[in-house]
Each structure stands twice: as C-alpha cells, then as structure tokens.
Amino acid sequence: MTSIIGFSGPHFCVLNSENKPRFQVQVRSLGSKDSPVLSSDSVAVNGASVIKEREERRSLIDEGNERLRHKVNEEKRVKDGVLESLEPLWDDGYGTVTVKDYFDATKEMIKPDGGPPRWFCPVACGAPLKDSPILFFLPGLDGTGWGLILHHKALGKAFEVRCLHIPINDRTPFEGLVKFVEETIRLEHASSPNKPIYLVGDSFGGCLSLAVAARNPTIDLVLILVNSASSIERSQLQPLFPILEAIPDELHTAIPYLLSFVMGDPTKMAMVNIESRLPPSLKLTQLSRNLVALLPCLSSLADIIPRATLLWKLKLLKSAAAYANSRLHAVKAEVLVLASGKDNMVPSRDEAQRLMSSLQNCTVRHFNDNGHTLLLEDGINLLTVIKGTCKYRRSRKRDYVSDFLPPSMSELKYTADEVFGVLRLATGSVMFSTLEDGKIVRGLAGVPHEGPVLIVGYHNLMGLELNSLVEEFLREKNIMVRGAAHPELFWGKSASSASFDWLKVFGAVPVTAKNLFKLLSSKSHVLLYPGGAREALHNKGEEYKLFWPNQPEFVRMAAQFGATIVPFAAVGEDDLLELVFDYNDLKKIPVISDYIKESNRDAIRLRDETSGEVANTDLFFPGILPKLPGRYYYLFGKPIVTKGKKEILKDKENANKLYLEIQSDIENSLAYLLKKREEDPYRSVTDRTAYRAIYSPMHEIPTFEP
C-alpha cells in the first residue's frame, strides 16, 4: 500500500550536528511500515548512517595570480539561526568530494533490508537559505540516490534537497514509482503552493520526472533532465541487452566494469578534485593517483547492480521510456535538459533536440566532453548550470534581484582559468580610482564600499571590459557588481545560447526600470551603460565616443535612493581587436544584411525613436580580428553623492545638468587614459609576460604613475 504522512510544515527536514530539527519527522516510504525517526547526527537509510562530507576548510586566499584580499565567511548573513543570504565567493564545496566518496556512501545503503523506496536527506546539504524551494533527486539505474554527491553542499544552500533511494531488491513497477513520487510532490505543493518544486532526473530518473510532470500539469514544477533515458529504444547498446540475460552468474562480475566505461568517463571522474592551475606534470601525477584509487571501487558496481537487479532495471527502463514518451504532450513544466556529447549509453544529444521540439518550455545545454554519468564527472557544477540558465527561483516568477545567488569561489576560479583565462592574460587589466580629494590611486579604494552605488560608463566593443571589472570588484572589495544587460539576452533568441550563461552567473540583470529600482533599493552596486548596444557595437572611427540617450534616464532614480554615482572609463579595445566589418559594411552584403534584418525582426527594443541615435540599435556580431594584445586600463572617477538631493534633482534642468557633467567626466577620463597609457612600459603582453615570469603575479605588474 502506498502512503505518505501529512502534517503541518515541511514533511522532511535537514538534520545535522549544526542544525538541530525544529521538530521530529517520521517519514513513510512506499509501504505500510513507518521508517524510524531520523537522528540529528545522521540520516538513517537501510539501518546505516549516510556519510558526512569531509569538512575541509579551504583557504579563500589564492597564491600567485589569484591572490585575494578577503577571506569570506559564507555564513555571515545569518539571522535567528536561518541563513538569509550568501556572501560573494562563498564555499560551495565543489572539488572536496570525489567519485570514491560515492562508492563509499553506497556500501551500507545497498545492504538488503526488504524495505520499499524511500526519501533521504544528505547531511552534507546542511541548512538552506530562507524560503528555499525543495529539490527532489530521482536517480538513474543504480537507484542509490547518491548521484548528486558531488553537488550536495552547493545545492544544499539553495534548495531543500531530498534524494530517492530504491533498494536493489525492490521490484516496484514504474507506475508504482510514479505514484510514490507524485504523492510526495502533491503533499509538498499543498504545504507550499507558491513555491516551485524541482525534479532532477538522472537517466532513468528523467523518465520518472517527465511522467510525474505529465500527470500534474497544474503544479509548478521545474524539471532538470540529465541524459534522459527516454531515448533508450535508440540506445547504441540495444543489441547487447539480450546478451546480458544469457550471461552466466559467474561472469556477471565483469559486466559492471564494462558498464562503468560505457556509462561514464573514468578520467573525467578522477579529475573532479584536481586544481586547474596545477602544472601539467602535477596534474598528471594526481590524475594517476586518483585513477588508481578509483578503479578498485568499480568492483562494487556488481553489488550495487547485481544480475537480477540489472535485468529488472533494463525492463523497468523500457516501460519508463514508453510511459514518458507517450505523455510528452501533457508536460507543462519548465524543463532544462542537460545532454552529454560522449554518452555511450543513450543518444543524449539527439534526444535533447527531440525534447526541445516536443516540450512547450524547454532549454537545452550540451556538455560535449562528458559521458552518461554527467553528475559524477569533472566540468559540471549543477548549481552553476541552474543559475546560468536563470532557472533558480523561490516563487512562481523569477525575481532577478531577490532570487540571485552570488558566485562561489569555485565559479570565480573556473571562469578566471577556463572561460576567460586567455582574455585575462591578454588584457592585463589595471584599475585606478579617484579619492574624494581628487587624487587618483591604483586600485578601487575610491569606490564607496557601502551601497547603493551606480557605476556609469562607456561600453567598449563587444563588452570587452566587463569580465575584468566584475572580477576585480570581487577580488579586491568582495563586492558583487550587478550589470544591467540587454533584455534580449534573457527573453529573446539569445537566451537559448549558452554563450551568455556566465554573465547571468555573475549578476547580470535585464535593464529595466523595475530591476534598477529593486537593485538600488537593496543598496547594491549597479553597473549601467547608458550607451548600451550602440557603444558596444559601434562603427569604425567611433572608438571611445559616447552615444547616450537625450534624457537623463538614471539621475533622478539614483537621487531617489540617495545612490552614489561613480563615472568610469575603460580603454583597451583598440589594443586587442581590429574592427574589420562594422554595421555599415555588413549591411552592404546582401545575405548578411538579410540575416541581420531577420534576426532583429522580433528582437526586444529598449527605447522609442525619441531617444536619439542610441534608440533601437540592431544586434549583430561585427567582423573583428585579434591584435597582438596591449593592455586594458580603467579609471573610476570621483564619486558623485546624490543623497539629500532628491528634491533638487526632481527638477529636469538640474538633473540634465548633472547628466551632462557625468558624460564630461567620462570623456575626460577616456582622454586621460589614452594619453597616460603611452607611458606604460608594460603595455605590451610580451613585456608583461616576461615581467610576470621573473618578478610577480599579473595584477602586480607596474604601470604608469597616475
């Protein structure tokens, strides 16, 4: 008999030694017997304690090129024992848990207890943020529920995490599992009707997620399908499945070894905790050690999926895929599909495209170098993917301000090394700021630490200045700068592209009056480009020329909140790129002209025709060629205080006067940097590389005297 208990409040609770439960919870699984009350020291599953994640406190002070000036206490913003917000560069624990921990965690859980499927909460998840939504993990063929172990600590800050455990001897049919998950979902929805419910379905769990969503179209569900097994009928391994049934029991111990190489990439699994900055020789040494430690663990796969269980799971998988595929039309949920490019189990890449065309609200992200066991491999942080695709929300509609989760230390390291590493090396950025007495100093000391602060400046070609600016504020001041970006990146055709995901991870919001209002009211540091796309996509000969709208769009709003306005300039685009084909050139080429016109036909427009030359700029990619890199220079001007000037700046003439003064400050700063960079002995990348190799990290390389 299927049953789930009901009571006021959440029907699961996170339990660990640091966060005692407010009440004891008795959880029933798919059966009539009550499971034991969970202890505060561990979560008991099958009579065994779930392992605790290793509490290694890694220093947030990097050495060399990545030296940071702040240690971050991630639980600083705690009120009444509840974590209300996360500090920038918080520790998400990524890299402290490995696949070996996965095998260690499953050893006790796979012992037969005759029990039915049940939920458990990993201790490592800890206490989530206030008002966090709930996330249910639906496992793949292994059924252990430990497939998220690499992501527990990170997800545990943003969600109440619950994992489904299906014992190895359980033979509940697919419809029974659907009803079990469904009843849990309905109970949670009844408890918190305004919160979304997340279902992370891994392989087989993807079919289970789709089936539950199809049967509950009125519940606000967010599905995250990881290499969904809904394509099992098109699997490359279909011819081998009948052979598995004929293999004698004594030879079955070899099957898990074969499956481990088919389902995942052991090398990717072994690289999870290897620092990307290590020299190649040290990387290879650590990889070898990890592989030596991992390979013996593969023998336990024979215990996790014994022969009878494997044959049952394959039959279950076929019925699950047929059930889910027949009901795709009924799925109304928001769906995020994660597909591996080297999946040897199922054709995940093709299946992702099929699901995107079949489902009403579906986003796809591809991971070209990963295998079927994506969540256990290096190169993916699930929370980062959720944030980058703007899928994280605490209510029915995403709030780009209150639902934002600041980047973690591992995210900053990854972007600095893997995503923008070459650009960082090429730019060698130098920051200057202006103190209140007008003195120009190196660093960001002149920018106020307390918000609200509105940083206003010139937008370089293709937004080349963005990455270094946001990164340096994080490193030097531990401040998250929220950039106001074109809405097309969030709601238009560009939203489907993974190219802009990192902008969203690092705080970009759609540039709307509502979002600007919320950011300033929450005392944030906001980055605003009045010239927007017109400056970032300028024509030849227009370098470092401002194209601002006729109206002072931001001055009065800044004054309303008493925000400090900091004008800034950045130069260096002409030292990195050569603009070969601008908008005027491309419009002369018939095929490209038609493409630009078509792609902008339904594009989101920010301003009407009364806003001057900056209005309604077409979005396109200019033709560019790289140069031998020079250097990027930033100058933040003297802060302009608007506090106490709300009534004065309500007057249109006064507001316009200040608006023109800000433009003048930026133009003067641009001219200053263009002149002073000629005095920099390390303007060339070759000179900086030589200096860095001999003397110091990149950010300490000397420059001109301000």
pLDDT at 257: 57
- CATH number for the domain that contains residue 331: 3.40.50.1820
pLDDT tens digits for range 669-706: 999 999 999 999 999 999 998 988 888 665 689 999 99
Q: Are 317 and 232 in contact (CB under 8 A)?
A: yes
Q: Is it the case that residue 43 has pLDDT exceeding 60? A: no
Instruction: Burial-class residue 24 by CB neighbours within 10 Å (0-12, 13-18, 19+).
Output: exposed
Q: Rounded to the nearest 5 degrees, what angle is found at the Cα of 135, between the Cα atoms of 510 and 364?
A: 50
Residues 151 and 290 in one domain: yes
- Torsion, Cα of 676, 677, 682, 686 (10° steps): -170
Burial of 630 (0-12, 13-18, 19+ CB in 10 A): buried
Q: Tell me: do 159 and 120 sit in the same domain.
A: yes
Tell me what the pLDDT averaged over the chain comes to.
84
Instruction: Show Cβ contacts of residue 666 under 8 Å, excluding neighbours closer than 6 positions.
Output: 456, 457, 458, 546, 567, 568, 569, 637
Domain count, the chain: 2
For 422, the domain range is 409-576+626-695
Highest mean pLDDT among 7-11, 62-66, 389-393: 389-393
Distance CA 426, CA 445 (A): 25
Average the pLDDT over 11-23 and give the result.
34
106, part of any domain = yes
What pLDDT does 182 receive?
98
For 489-557, list the strands marked E by DSSP.
509-510, 525-528
Q: Are residues 375 and 522 in the same domain?
A: no
Average pLDDT over residues 460-485: 95
Q: Which residues of 340-353 are buried (b: 16+ CB within 10 A; e: fewer)?
A: bebbbbbbbbebbe
The whole-number average pLDDT for the span 518-536 is 95
- Cβ contacts of 200 within 8 Å, gap of 6 or more: 135, 136, 137, 138, 148, 209, 224, 226, 382
Q: Is the pLDDT of residue 46 over 50?
A: no
| Shared domain check, 423 and 517 | yes
What is the spatial distance between Cα 99 and Cα 142, in angstroms, rounded to a whole number?
A: 14
Last residue in a domain, options 389, 418, 434 = 389
Helix%, strand%, coil% for the chain, nearest 5:
40, 15, 45
Give yes or no: residues 372 and 460 share one domain. Answer: no
Reported as a pLDDT band with limits 50, 70 and 90, residue 8 is: very low
- Pair 355, 490 in one domain: no
CA distance 265 to 379: 12
Residues 383 and 414 reside in one and the same domain: no
Return the pLDDT at 607.
60
pLDDT range class, residue 250, cuts 50, 70, 90: low
Which of these ranges, 94-103, 438-447, 466-475, 541-550, has the smallest mean pLDDT?
94-103
- Is residue 339 located within the same domain as residue 480? no
Based on the fold, state whether residues 217 and 312 are members of the same structural domain.
yes
Q: What is the pLDDT of residue 464?
A: 93
The partner residues of 331 in beta bridges, in order of sequence, read none
What residue ranges in 58-180 does DSSP mark as E strands?
A: 78-79, 82-83, 118-120, 134-138, 160-165
**What integer pLDDT is reported at residue 25 of this predicted model?**
31
Q: What is the mean pLDDT of residues 651-658?
A: 93
Asked which of 361, 389, 417 is the last residue of a domain, the reply is: 389
The yes-or-no verdict on residue 35 having pLDDT over 60 is: no
pLDDT greater than 90 at residue 459: yes
pLDDT on residue 560:
93
| pLDDT bracket for residue 242 (50, 70, 90) | low
Which is nearest to 110 in space by CA: 138, 144, 141, 139?
Answer: 144
pLDDT band of residue 274 (cuts 50, 70, 90) is confident
The percentage of the chain sitting over the pLDDT mark of 70, rounded to a whole number, equals 79
Within 8 A by CB and 6+ apart from 533, the residues are 459, 486, 617, 619
Quote the radius of gyration of the chain (alpha carbons, Å): 27
* Stretch 50-78: mean pLDDT: 40
**357 lies in some domain:** yes
Within-domain flag for 670: yes
- Predicted pLDDT of residue 665: 97
Global pTM exceeds 0.75: yes
What single DSSP character describes residue 28? B
pLDDT at 658 over 60: yes
Quote the pLDDT of residue 133.
97
The model's confidence at residue 614, banded by pLDDT at 50, 70 and 90, is low
The predicted pLDDT at position 32 comes to 40
28 domain-assigned: no
pLDDT of residue 264: 62
- Please name which of 540, 622, 627, 632 lies closest in space to residue 576, comparing C-alpha atoms: 627
576 CA to centre of own chain: 28
Residue matched to tokens 């020291």 = 41
639-666 burial, b at 16+ Cβ within 10 Å, e below that, comes to bbebeebeeebeeeebbeebbeebbebb
Q: What is the mean pLDDT of residues 336-352?
A: 94
Check residue 249 and give its pLDDT.
Answer: 62
- C-beta neighbour count of 583 within 10 angstroms: 16
Of the pLDDT bands very low, low, confident and very high (cuts 50, 70, 90), residue 528 is very high
Instruction: State yes or no: pLDDT of 310 exceeds 90.
Output: no
Query: Mean pLDDT, to the nearest integer, of 456-483?
Result: 96
pLDDT, residue 292, reads 61
pLDDT at 212 over 80: yes
pLDDT at 54 over 70: no
- How high is the pLDDT of residue 38? 35
Of the two residues 418 and 45, the one the predictor is more confident about is 418
pLDDT > 70? residue 492: yes
The encoded tokens of residue 90 equal 């918080």
- Check residues 619 and 473 and name the one with the higher pLDDT: 473
For the segment 310-322, the average pLDDT, to the nearest whole number, is 91
Least reliable range by pLDDT among 293-302, 489-498, 695-704 = 293-302
Q: Are 197 and 327 in a shared domain?
A: yes
Output 389 or 600, whichever has higher pLDDT.
Answer: 389
Instruction: Look at residue 44 in the predicted model and tell me its pLDDT.
Output: 37
Number of Cβ within a 10 Å radius of residue 20 = 10
Phi-psi map region of 408: left, alpha, beta (phi>0 left; psi -120 to 50 alpha): beta
User: Residue 306's pLDDT band (boundaries 50, 70, 90)?
Assistant: confident
**pLDDT over 50 at 48, yes or no:** no
pLDDT value for 71: 42
pLDDT at position 29: 56
Over residues 575-591, mean pLDDT: 93
Residues with Cβ < 8 Å from 7, sequence gap 6 or more? none
The pLDDT value given to residue 79: 63
pLDDT band at residue 86, thresholds of 50, 70 and 90?
A: very high
Q: Where are the beta strands (DSSP E) in 370-529?
A: 430-434, 440-442, 453-457, 481-485, 509-510, 525-528
Same domain, 494 and 416: yes
Is position 394 within any domain?
Answer: no
User: How many C-alpha atoms does 24 have within 13 Å on its Cβ side?
Assistant: 7
- Write the pLDDT tens digit of every residue in 97-146: 988 898 889 887 888 787 899 999 999 999 999 999 999 999 998 899 99
- Please tell me the predicted confidence (pLDDT) of residue 417: 87
Please report the pLDDT score of residue 144 as a whole number.
93
| Residues in Cβ contact with 651 at an 8 Å cutoff, skipping those fewer than 6 apart | none
The more confidently predicted of residues 156 and 274 is 156
Is there a contact between 340 and 374 (Cβ–Cβ < 8 Å)?
yes
Co-location of 273 and 164 in the same domain: yes
Residue 340: φ, ψ to 5°: -90, 145
Q: Which of 354, 389, 424 is the last residue of a domain?
A: 389
pLDDT for res 304: 76
pLDDT the model gives residue 3: 31
CATH number at residue 452: 3.40.1130
The sheet with strand 197-202 has its strands ordered as 118-120, 160-165, 134-138, 197-202, 221-226, 334-340, 362-367
Backbone angles phi, psi at 51, to 5 degrees: -65, 150
Residue 293 has pLDDT above 50, yes or no: yes
